[in-house]
Amino acid sequence: MRTAIYKPTNWLDPLDWRAVFDEPRPIEIDIGCGKGAFLLWAAQARPQHNFVGVERQLARLRKVDNKIQRLGLHNVRLIRIEASYFVSKLVPKQSVVAYHIFFPDPWPKRRHHSRRLFNATFVGELVQTLAKRGVVNVVSDDADYYTHIREVMAASTRFSAEPPETLPAEAKTEFESVFLTLGKEVYRARFVRSD
């Protein structure tokens, strides 16, 4: 049986996207793809792009993989890996047109802030791996973390903030659907690599 779950032969060097995908197309990466709602919507809405879903939980990846097979999508790959390692080690320089990072763990307790995905090092890796005018789309339900993300992105001086992308209901993640049902505010941001 075909699978979209990709296992690199080498976990230390940048991937060759030509070996990962059947067709060479612009690359978009969904970090923390969860149950795949956004990833599957985007892959169908933009068949002229290739998509990589990054997730640590194998059970989630297998469920998303089953959906990919049912839909017959050939422009999606899934990889089980920690996000910052993936971006820093496996993503080739200037090869990504968009990152989608929806509801990253806010690690709200101050003593856990060092575990947050967004920090100066990670933002530097985003800059290195994004193509010119590449974008980073972020969604969070945590106001404090959202403020932190905006600050660390601005501090890099390599991004300009632009109005966030408007997504249809079917593109919303399960997290977002739950938060909106609970009347919780959701914060969106879009950053464009400025050089």
**Residue 186 belongs to a domain with what CATH number?**
3.40.50.150
Domain assignment present for 15: no
Mention every residue, 6+ apart, whose C-beta is less than 8 A from residue 182.
none
Domain assignment present for 186: yes
Domain assignment present for 159: yes
Q: Tell me the pLDDT tens digit for each residue of 47-97.
A: 999 999 999 999 999 999 999 999 999 999 999 999 999 999 999 999 999
- Alpha-helix residue ranges (DSSP H) falling in the chain: 17-20, 37-45, 58-71, 83-85, 120-129, 143-155, 174-181
At 105, give phi and psi (nearest 5°).
-55, 120
Domain assignment present for 3: no
d(CA 97, CA 56) in angstroms, rounded, equals: 22
Which of 13, 16, 105, 144 is catalytic? The answer is 105
d(CA 83, CA 91) in angstroms, rounded, equals: 11
Domain assignment present for 17: no
Q: Where does residue 41 fall: left (phi above 0), alpha (psi -120 to 50 degrees), or beta otherwise? A: alpha
Mention every residue, 6+ apart, whose C-beta is less than 8 A from residue 60.
33, 34, 35, 36
Query: By the 8 A CB rule, do 16 and 77 touch?
Result: no
Hunting for tokens 């969070």 — which residue is that? 140
Q: Tell me the pLDDT tens digit for each residue of 168-184.
A: 888 887 778 777 777 78
Domain, as residue range, for 150: 23-193
More confident site: 109 or 30: 30
Domain assignment present for 112: yes
d(CA 102, CA 33) in angstroms, rounded, equals: 8
Domain assignment present for 2: no
Helix 58-71 × helix 37-45 angle, to 10°: 30
pLDDT band at 165 (very low <50, low <70, confident <90, very high): confident
Domain assignment present for 4: no
Domain count, the chain: 1
Q: Tell me the pLDDT tens digit for each residue of 127-154.
A: 999 999 999 999 999 999 999 999 999 9
Residue 105 annotated among the catalytic residues of the structure: yes
